[in-house]
Structure 1
């Protein structure tokens, strides 16, 4: 069996502050936190739909993988960038009409595709430039970031699981077997289910037990199972309010792939 380790190494992407020489100017007024838009930002996941420079030309460098557009996630005063080469994130605040990020950090993994590898730098530089932001309602809502260079990045909002299910979910760890199994269902012929068991951990994060293997009569949102690969997943489990008849009353949403192993 071949293990696929998950490596996470910190890398600071933010630039260092320049030293002050000569007579320093008086300190600027304290920044005003724009609290009103924060709940709206954090209620959605923002997927990049369009990006143009000041002359209206498409910023192709931000669309390295058309199948996986860049996505911004906001939560608890932090911003995360998904679908770049690495996982990128940092603290943010809203200063009137500007998005200000103290410092971005990233995992340090090499990408075989040079365009994807450069994507980290392309998006990080624009986010760290304190772009102006504008929120527009509607279904779906839109978020527009305008950089000091006049570039315009437009994102489309998708409700987070917390928004869709009406509250925070429980964090659980599921081990997913390498192969699906037949699972009889009165409405679905020849149904094949994921085979899972829940893992228990102590306060230090060490595994201390596992439940019984059982078929999961639903999919895990955000997880694409690859036959022959066993995975340990960290997922969020949400209660589904008023589920339809014969539908599950809980939903599972992928948070992190903790461990993968190819079974031969």
Structure 2
């Protein structure tokens, strides 16, 4: 049985619904070991896992050779958060045994070195958010932009939102507006300067600001390949 569990994480990355149907589409937050600051999270999605690793966002997939590929932003955080992240990613890279309970409310991951990580299920899908929701005021702004878009709701429609934060250690948030002149590439993180310009008499379902790229301050490829443990 333990041998079977040792390959279930890889199976989830390839086909979560076949491995554990009741984990598909679920989100989890680490409760043990306890950490300083914000706890890591995991979400199971078709063919991948995504989440927050203690400082940065990550996406974990497997390639054609069966290697685990973890893409993530590379922002620096205070030392406790960086230690949390290093331990969490080491656990994921070890192909841990995956042990959900029958009700899909609690989850254990047991790393190759025997370390046990426990998670609780996080309720619910993201609530719908109107496109007119403005997260900032007009003027010049600097934004950290993550390497992947996330599905989000805008009024009655669905879209793929950029993930942004406004400081190196701030929370990631959906960015519902377009940034004129900015063409972000998948797998690349950015630090950019934008100008938010007020829009006169915007439609009820549109933003009251439009965003224009002034310059890309920094960009960085974030993919890295990890060889699975034997």
- Measured against the shorter chain, the TM-score band is 0.3 to 0.5
Name the structure with the higher helix share: 2
TM-score (norm 1): 0.43
What is the TM-score with the length of structure 2 in the denominator? 0.48
